[in-house]
Structure 1
Amino acid sequence: MLAIFLKTLPFFALIGLGYLAGRTRFFTAEATAYLTKFVFFFALSAMLFDFAANLTLAEILDLRFIAAYLWGTTFVYLIATAVGFLRGLSVAESAVEAQCAVIGNVGFMGIPMLALLLGPQSAGPMLMILATDLIVFSSLIVILITGSRGEAGWATLRTVGLGLLKNPMIVSIALGIAWSATGRDLWVPVAEFVDILGAAATPGALFAIGASLAGKSAERLSVAGWLSFAKLVLHPLAVAVSAFYFFPVSDPYAATVMISAAAMPVAGNVYMLAQHYGVAPQRVSAAILVSTAISILTVSAVVGILTGGT
């Protein structure tokens, strides 16, 4: 377990460095926004394209794997939604809290971290999880919020569809799969270009996470604590039960990747959605800050339990 913790420590140290830079205003909010944009549209997209281009469609599309992840994630989503309703929250607020409970920082944190901890072969399962989160749950929250305001209709579906088509993560994965289907290797200069650009994703993303956390508040800690517990404990637990019992995943390694990915802290894009629609952004901000801080211990624990601490 200690070995796993020591391997994750450099990742969290990079987040801490970014946090320090943001907190001291050495890295301003504007600088953080531009760094995040660079990582999102260029570096991370190059990394995802590179992964997908070197995998077959069968390695990325496993219906039983997706069903297992969907079942476990939906179960926790419904629990968080029910808790929200019991507290008297609106549909929109409950949807945002449910999103916090199940959408982890897979793109910026999970993919680079698990590639080191579990090996580069974790890319296939990680891409399935990332695509499922983006296509299913990122679409669902938009539909629920707009529907609760009486704005749902073809215009909403069109907005959701265009959003997916314009999402650089979805586009880069799709282009990588398309290239992989040709059976050809990338032209060497192109492959080296993608490698160099993709290599900037890990340090850039982790630093950007930390710098963005410097602007987050820790208000309403009781709610943030509940959402962090749901994300860091309930989500990986439900996914584990699903992967081992309800929809048994044939490859134990893929199941390990799935559960480890589910243990990631709340993703930053949940805050962007909450802020865009004006639904509980402070609550989401606190959940991101608290869950990321606690995940220093919980991620190591989950990966350590799954791998026997080696």
Structure 2
Amino acid sequence: MWDIFLKTLPFFMLIGLGYGAARTKFFSEEATAYLTKFVFYFALSAMLFRFSANLSLGAIFDWSFVLAYLTGTLAVYLTATAVAMRRGIPVTEAAVEAQCATIGNVGFLGIPMLVLLLGETAIGPIMMVLAVDLIVFGSLIVILITGARDGRMSPKILVTVAVGLIKNPMIVSISLGLLVSAFALPVPVPINEFLTLLGNAATPGALFAIGASLASKSAERVAVAAWLSLCKLVLHPVAVAIAALLVFNVPPAMAGVMIAAAALPVAGNVYIIAQHYRVAPSRASAAILLSTAASIVTVSVTIAWVTTYLR
């Protein structure tokens, strides 16, 4: 456990460095926005393309894995939604809370950290988790918020969802990489080295950007944020573990990656969606802040368990 904590600590130290730089105003909000854009559209996309270009579709897609992750995630999603509705809040706010309870920071934190700690065999499973989060739950929140406001489903909502997916650089880079792999297209050495160099900037850039973005987050409505953090850091990995190991019999190594990914703190893009639709942004902000702080311990515990018993 202590060894794993020491291995994860540098990742959170980078997050802390970004937080300190932004908190002291050395790094402005505008600088954070541009760094995040660089990581999202360039560095992380280069890393994902290079990873997926060297994988076969069979290595990145497994039905039992996807169904296990979907089942465990939906269980927590519905639990968070039920609790939110019980408190009498609107469907739109319940959708944001459910998103906080289930969508982790797989892109910016999970990919660089889990690949390093769990090995390159973790790449395929992590990409499956990322794809489910982006395609299924990223679409679901838009459908729920837009549908609740309009009072009905319309083709316009589906068009909005489709355009959002097509414009997402993570989806595009993974898809292009898999096409290169499927057709066995050679990647010229200079291009591969360029992608490696650019992709290497993703890890420090992403972690620094996470910390810098947290500096502008508030911890309002702490009780709700604490509940959502509990869902994300504890209930989600437990539900996914039950689904993977006891229901769908996912191979232990793949199940371990799934569980570790489920234990990640709330994703920053949940706040972006909440802010965009003006639905409970302060609640999402607080959940991101609290879950990221607590994950210094909980993620280490989860990875220690995964590497001890499932690898």
Q: Could you report, residue by residue, the CA deviation over 1:109-157 in whole angstroms, capped at 9, with x for unpaired residues?
A: 0010001110111110000110110000010000000111116311110
Partner of 1:253: 253
Per the alignment, in what secondary structure is the counterpart of residue 27 of structure 1?
Answer: coil
The 2-side partners of 1:254 and 1:241 are apart by: 14
How far apart in 1 are the matches of 2:242 and 2:119? Answer: 23
- 1:197 aligns with 198
Amino acid at match of 1:95: A
The residue aligned with 1:187 is 188
CA distance in 1, matches of 2:254, 2:51: 16
What is the distance in 2 between the residues matched to 1:73 and 1:248? Answer: 16
Cα deviation per residue 1:54-102 (whole Å; 9 max; x = unaligned)? 1000001111100000000000000000000111111000000000000
Q: Partners in 2 of 1:120 and 1:191 — Cα distance?
A: 17
Q: For 1:149 and 1:219, locate their aligned partners in 2 and report how far apart those are by CA, in whole Å.
A: 25
Amino acid corresponding to residue 121 of structure 2 in structure 1: Q
1:89 counterpart = 2:111:
no
Q: Distance in 1 between matches of 2:121 and 2:238?
A: 23
Runs of 4+ in 1 over 2 A off after TM superposition: none
Is structure 2 residue 160 aligned with structure 1 residue 142? no
- Report deviation, 1:248: 1.2
* Counterpart residue identity of residue 265, structure 1: P
Q: Report 1:12-161 matches (<5 A).
A: 12-150=12-150, 152-161=153-162
Aligned to 2:170: 169
Q: Distance in 2 between matches of 1:172 and 1:190?
A: 15
SS of 1:185 mapped into structure 2: coil
| Matched residue SS, 2:150 | coil
Identity between Structure 1 and Structure 2 (%)? 66
Q: Give a deviation string over 1:165-201, Cα, whole Å, max 9, x none.
A: 1100000000000000122431100000000000000
1:224 aligns with 2:225: yes
Q: What CA distance in whole angstroms lies between the structure 2 residues aligned with 1:89 and 1:120?
A: 43
Q: Is 2:211 the counterpart of 1:210?
A: yes
Residues of 1 paired with 2:61 and 2:179: CA distance?
13
* Cα distance in 2 for residues equivalent to 1:128 and 1:44: 16
> Partners of 2:11 and 2:303 in 1: how far apart?
14
Name the structure 2 match of 1:298.
298
Cα RMSD (Å) of the superposition?
1.0
* Bigger mean CA offset, 204-213 vs 114-123: 114-123
Question: What TM-score comes out, normalization by structure 2 length?
Answer: 0.98
Q: Deviations over 1:244-296 (max 9, x none)?
A: 111111x2111000000000000000000000001000000000000000000
Q: Secondary structure at the match of 1:75?
A: helix
Structure 1 unaligned segments of length 5 or more: list them: none
In the alignment, the residues of structure 1 paired with residue 175 and residue 24 of structure 2 have an alpha-carbon distance, to the nearest angstrom, of 40
Alpha-carbon displacement from aligned partner over 1:190-229 (angstroms, at most 9, x marks no partner): 0000000000000000000000000000111101100000
Cα separation, 1, equivalents of 2:196 and 2:25: 31
- Give the whole-Å Cα distance in 1 for the aligned partners of 2:110 and 2:32: 20
TM-score, normalising length from structure 1?
0.98
User: For 2:79 and 2:185, how far apart are their aligned partners in 1?
Assistant: 46
| Unpaired runs of at least 5, structure 2 | none
